[in-house]
Each structure stands twice: as structure tokens, then as C-alpha cells.
Amino acid sequence: MTQMRETPQDRAREEKLLRIMSEHLGCHYWQNPNTVKYRLDGWFFKPSFEGSNKGDMLGWAECKWYGDGKSAFCALNVPKYMEIINLSELTGLPSYFIFREQGKWGYIVLHDGSDKSATFSVVQTGGTPKGRTPNPDDIEPLIKFDKACIQWQEAGDQ
């Protein structure tokens, strides 16, 4: 059995970010049901008809919620980055890294459907969220994005 690292609170926060971004994009979202099929958090689509959960795909998403006054660290582990970029390159659909800081939310377009669009560096870092049991791989190579790539949005209902 696959052990999930995300708590129910993490999943609820992901869903809020997916909802906010889908409203921004004018489409619907689907949150990954946390199967082993995908590592990313969700995707966006335009329904075939109102009320349908089927339709044309519009993009891929990874979400992070930074709380307790922390600013966005803007980093993904290498396998997640590879997966979302590979999905964009294969499908021609954009991929988004969506996150929240205290009082605001933003996103980085990782891939615009044609090319990688976010500048980054590769660092060895990480950590364990406060109050959680450390995992042996909490310190790892990460793709750290340039904060100049962030497209900040109004706080809205988050």
C-alpha cells in the first residue's frame, strides 16, 4: 500500500487552490484522487456540457500552501517537476505551480504548452513541516523557481 504524505487538511488546501485557479482560468478542476497513477495534485478541463466531469483538458497543476507567515519557497522535488513537464510536453497543455502565502495566492507557469517557461536552479534542501514526523527523504534535490516568475493574484476567497 502506498503511504500518503498529505493530511486531510493538505488535501482541503490543495482543493481550495485548484478551485481558485480554475475560476481564474474560467474552467473546471479535478483533484487527483491520490492514486499511484499521478504524483501531481490536479488538472483543469472544460466540461463537454454543464454538469459533466468529462471534457477537453486545459492544463496540469501542482499546489503548495505556505502558512504561519512563511513566504513561498517555490520549489518542487525533481520527480514531480519531471512528471508535470513531461505531461505538458506530451500533451501540449500548460502546467501550473499554484501556491498560497498569508493573504495572497499566485502561480508560476512551468510550461506554456510549447516550452518550459519558468527559470530555476537546482538545490539540495528541504525540511519537515512543523508538527510532522520527519521522513528520511525530506532533504532532497529540489527545482527552485525564480520568484520573478510568480504571477500574484488578489486574495479573494481563500
* HEC string for the chain: CCCCCCCHHHHHHHHHHHHHHHHHHCCEEEECCCCCCCCCCEEEEEECCCCCCCEEEEEEEEEEECCCCCCCCCEEEHHHHHHHHHHHHHHCCCEEEEEEECCEEEEEEEECCCCECCCEEEEEEECCCCCCCCCCCCEEEEEEECHHHCEEECCCCC
Domains and CATH numbers, the chain: 8-153 (3.40.1350.10)
pLDDT (tens digit, 9 = 90+) per residue, 96-114? 999 998 889 999 999 999 9
pLDDT tens-digit map of 21-31 = 999 999 999 99
What pTM did the predictor assign? 0.88
